[in-house]
Amino acid sequence: MTSTSSDLPAALQEAITRRHVHDGTAHAIVSTELKIIHCSADFGRFLPENTAQIEGSLLTSLFAEFIGSEPYLRALLHNPDEHYAIKRVNRTAPDDSVHYLDLELTGFDPQRPELGWLFTIRDTTEVGRLEQSLIQERNQLRLARRELALVNRELSRLDQLKTIFLSMAAHDIRAPLTVIRGYVEILTSMAEINPVDIDFDEFAAFLNTIRVQTDWLDNIINNILGLDQIENDQLVLHIVPCDLNSIIMDMCDMMQATAKLNQRTLTCSPADHPVIIPGDHQRLQQILQNVIGNGIKYNQTGGKVHISLSTSPEFAILTVTDNGVGIAQDQLPHIFELYYRTESAQKSQVRGTGLGLFIVKTLVEAHKGTIEVKSTIKSGTTFTICLPLLLKK
């Protein structure tokens, strides 16, 4: 059965047709065929300007919001307790401003479904905009809170790592100090008990051990100070022309004692000419001490560490290769991260703070250079450091 205008009380038709909107609402009578039969005078203001015909048009052709809901709407006509409402329908005006409408369909009389529906449009732009801005703020707060939680988690992780680092650093400083103190006591007693029969070779070997342990201590302290400067943005390089060739030869000599003490072989293939780069002499030594030190530490008895220096037209190319324990491929991307220690390093008895390679990378980059690493488990690791030459060839 289809509703027609004659089915509705004349007074109601009249009231709806003549009604002028002063409260932001408009009404229409919708037939059971979903056609608009009557509408209030300013119903058209909720439709696009080029809408030619309202009365007689299908509701779904003017309001796409009802497409797909037709079966439910028909069922609604028989249910006195239900109405169909779509709240906060967004409409974008030609000036790109967003307006909000509430659309509502209510059956006229559940006893007489043939009368169709009363369709009400309510302009809720004002309250909609307020609601939108509140939800926008709420959502942005939620996003900010989430960001904050992530940053907090990262800070807690770093704080935890720092605690671990401090305990490791304390242990690392105490260990060489214990060795130094022990040897000093031995040397003192040797001198006190029988100064005449001192075995000078043994004496020199003990002094050498003390020197190695002092170098180790020096490296730890330099790294801690370096980290402090990096973290506080206070890393200052004193750049002067440096001969990298002579620096690597000096470092190779200096670290021979450490290599021997650990039963490793340290060799060096310098370039056959001076390799001048703009650099900070002390920092370049720190880079080498860390990389060579790792090659010695993460190696086995009888292991080898080799340093070589060559040049390309623009760069000094320094490689440090060892035949040590190697680094797993999935851990390689992380080895330059602060406090990072590989799983094998953590499991091993080798002391380490997770500072060295972070500082190395920071210092290499501060010299406008690059560092790369290649490694194979149980075969060894090669670090390649490229530093710009003072004068390009």
Partner 1 sequence: MRTVQKKVCMLGDFAVGKTSTVQRFVEGIFDDRYLSTIGVKINRKQLTVDDYVATLLIWDLAGGDDFSSVTQSYLRGASGALLVCDVTRAESLALVERYAAQIRSVTPSASLILLGNKIDLTAQRTVSDSDLEAFSKRINCGWLTTSAKTGQNVDQAFVQLTLQIIAKSHLAEHDDPAT
Sign of CA dihedral 350, 351, 352, 353: positive
Residue from 1, 15, 85, 328 touching partner 1 (CB under 8 A): that is 85
Smallest distance, partner 1 to C-beta of residue 340, A: 18
Smallest distance, partner 1 to C-beta of residue 48, A: 13
Amino acid at residue number 158: L
Q: Given the complex with partner 1, which of 64 and 93 has the nearer CB atom?
A: 64
**Residue appearing with tokens 């022309």:** 241
* Residue 86 contacts partner 1 per CB under 8 A: yes
* Residue 69 contacts partner 1 per CB under 8 A: yes
Q: Given the complex with partner 1, which of 103 and 248 has the nearer CB atom?
A: 103
Choose the binding region for partner 1 from 62-70, 207-215, 225-233, 354-362 (rule: CB under 8 A).
Answer: 62-70
Using CB under 8 A, which residues numbered 163 to 182 contact partner 1?
A: none
Smallest distance, partner 1 to C-beta of residue 147, A: 10
Sign of CA dihedral 240, 384, 166, 254: negative
Residue 35 per-residue DSSP state: B
* Residue 87 contacts partner 1 per CB under 8 A: yes
* Residue 89 contacts partner 1 per CB under 8 A: yes
- DSSP class per residue in 316-363: EEEEEEE-SS---GGGGGGTTSTT---HHHHHSS----S-HHHHHHHH
In total, the chain counts a number of residues equal to 393
Distance from C-alpha of 202 to C-alpha of 218, rounded to nearest angstrom = 24
167, containing H or E segment: helix 125-193
Segments of the chain assigned E as strands: 25-30, 36-39, 84-92, 98-107, 117-123, 240-243, 265-269, 276-279, 304-311, 315-322, 370-376, 380-388
Distance from C-alpha of 289 to C-alpha of 305, rounded to nearest angstrom = 13
Distance from C-alpha of 370 to C-alpha of 317, rounded to nearest angstrom = 10
* Residue 88 contacts partner 1 per CB under 8 A: yes
Smallest distance, partner 1 to C-beta of residue 67, A: 6
What angle in degrees, to the nearest 10, is found between the helix axes of 281-297 and 200-231? 120
* Residue 187 contacts partner 1 per CB under 8 A: no
Distance from C-alpha of 342 to C-alpha of 102, rounded to nearest angstrom = 61
* Residue 100 contacts partner 1 per CB under 8 A: yes
Using CB under 8 A, which residues numbered 124 to 143 contact partner 1?
A: 128, 131-132, 135-136, 139-140, 142-143
Sign of CA dihedral 68, 56, 46, 110: negative
Q: Given the complex with partner 1, which of 61 and 229 has the nearer CB atom?
A: 61
Residue from 74, 146, 174, 368 touching partner 1 (CB under 8 A): that is 146
Residue from 2, 15, 45, 72 touching partner 1 (CB under 8 A): that is 72
* Residue 99 contacts partner 1 per CB under 8 A: no
Q: Given the complex with partner 1, which of 25 and 209 has the nearer CB atom?
A: 25
Q: Given the complex with partner 1, which of 106 and 262 has the nearer CB atom?
A: 106
Q: Given the complex with partner 1, which of 155 and 191 has the nearer CB atom?
A: 155
**How many residues sit in the footprint of partner 1 (CB under 8 A)?**
26
Residue from 14, 33, 70, 228 touching partner 1 (CB under 8 A): that is 70
Smallest distance, partner 1 to C-beta of residue 132, A: 5
Using CB under 8 A, which residues numbered 211 to 270 contact partner 1?
A: none
Q: Given the complex with partner 1, which of 84 and 383 has the nearer CB atom?
A: 84
Segments of 44-116 assigned E as strands: 84-92, 98-107
Binding-site ranges for partner 1 (CB under 8 A):
64-65, 67-72, 84-90, 100, 128, 131-132, 135-136, 139-140, 142-143, 146
